[in-house]
Amino acid sequence: MDRSYCIAPMMGRTDSQFRYLVRQISKRTVLFTEMIHSNAILFGNKNKLEEYSNIENPIVLQLGGNDPKNLGQVSKLANKFNYDEINLNLGCPSPRVSSGGFGAALMNDPELVKNCLSSIKENFDKEVSVKIRLGTDDNDIDETLDNFVDSVKSSGIKVFYVHARKAILKGLTPKQNREIPPLNYERVKKLKVDYSDLEIIINGGIKELDFLKKNDLCNLDGIMIGREVYSNPLILNDVDKILEADLTKNNSLYDITSEMFNYFGSLKNKNLVKRGLIHMHGLFNGHKEAKKIRILLSNSIYLEKSKNEILSILEKGIIRAA
Ligand SMILES: Cc1cc2nc3c(=O)[nH]c(=O)nc-3n(C[C@H](O)[C@H](O)[C@H](O)COP(=O)(O)O)c2cc1C
């Protein structure tokens, strides 16, 4: 799997509707699910794994949890679906997640991480990866990160998505934890120098496709973009062209919008349609008529009417103002 361009997993955002939207823009960008806790699947909604369709590949299933046996069981179930990779979340700093002993808090227990990953690997037929931070709280990111990577590596894991900042588990909210701990891209670069056999994808604050080149980070294997993709999904417009996957013309804003409304027509659950409409807001970032279009997108009741009005605005040829 080519991991040059990946979308970051985001709870409440990278659901099936958003992933469908992204696929209208790029076929090759690697998609991630939202994090799903292994127990939420085993003891809750088993259908969670099915909230996925084949058009979404390449796609990574992100799991949360710290129980090797349960993670292994879910990984076995995941084989029935066509996920390309399972990723263990070792970066989420939320107090609820930390008190459950998973997410970023788990980085403080490399031995348990190793057991979790070994169990996932034993049960899942394809690639297994981790998403980590540079460390937590007062950890020294030079020494502790290397020790952590050594331990994780010994379970046979080769793919690391690295959010290039620490997680401060005491005192910061999840949102602050995505903004306050400083980004340290150089540390990620050094990680790849020291562990050239690993595939390292960098994450955190990335807003452009040529980020690696612009920041002298070309030794890294790929970029992962989160918030910027959500607020401006068209940033992915050139990915397929860069990867030479598809040299045909990009879907226009009109085509993407039209296909999304066709897709909504096939969804039986109206809440999913509502969520999908919200996910479309970022598409019109910078558009002259963005305000009007977003008001129309807020109306999930008269879907056909909203569709026609939006398409007629787009048809007038006002593709993008910026
Ligand atoms: C709303 C939201 C939800 C997130 N949910 C997850 C998640 O489920 N799993 C995860 O590993 N990271 C999650 N993250 C963190 C992102 O994957 C990413 O690491 C972070 O936003 C930094 O990347 P960015 O600067 O490109 O947004 C979330 C971030 C946001 C904004």
6 is catalytic: no
Question: What residues are paired with 89 via a beta bridge?
Answer: 131
Does the C-beta of 174 come closer than 6 Å to ligand 1? no
Q: Which residue's alpha carbon is at the smallest distance from atom 26 of ligand 1? A: 226
d(CA 33, CA 155): 23
User: 199's torsion region: left (phi>0), alpha (psi -120 to 50) or beta?
Assistant: beta
What's the pTM value of the predicted model, to 2 decimals? 0.95
* 310 Cα–ligand 1 center, Å: 30
Ligand 1 within 6 A of CB of 165: no
Query: Structure tokens of 153?
Result: 């590596």
Would you say the CB of residue 131 lies under 6 angstroms from ligand 1?
Answer: yes
Helix (H) or strand (E) run with residue 202 in it = strand 199-203
Ligand 1 neighbourhood includes 8 CB (under 6 angstroms) = yes
pLDDT at 321 (0 to 100): 41
Ligand 1 centroid to residue 10 C-alpha, Å: 5
What lies within 8 Å, CB to CB, of 271 at 6+ separation is none
Does ligand 1 lie within 6 Å of residue 104's CB atom? Answer: no
Is there a contact between 107 and 61 (Cβ–Cβ < 8 Å)? no
- Give, using CA atoms, the residue closest to atom 7 of ligand 1: 10
Identify the pLDDT of residue 322.
Answer: 42
The low-confidence residues of the chain, meaning pLDDT below 50, are 319-322
- What is the per-residue pLDDT for 48? 85
CA of 6 to the centre of ligand 1 (A): 12
- Candidates 47, 48, 45, 18; CA nearest to 31 is 18
Give 204 Cα–ligand 1 centroid separation in angstroms.
9
Cβ count near 295 (within 10 Å): 11
Helix (H) or strand (E) segment spanning residue 32: strand 31-32
CATH 3.20.20.70 fits 5-242, yes or no: yes
Q: What are the residues facing 86 on neighbouring strands? A: 61, 128
User: Is 178's C-beta closer than 6 angstroms to any atom of ligand 1?
Assistant: yes
Mutate which of 5, 6, 7, 10 for ligand 1? The one with the most ligand atoms within 8 Å of its CB, which is 10
| Domain definitions of the chain by residue range | 5-242, 253-315
- Verify whether ligand 1 is closer than 6 Å to residue 101 (CB atom): no
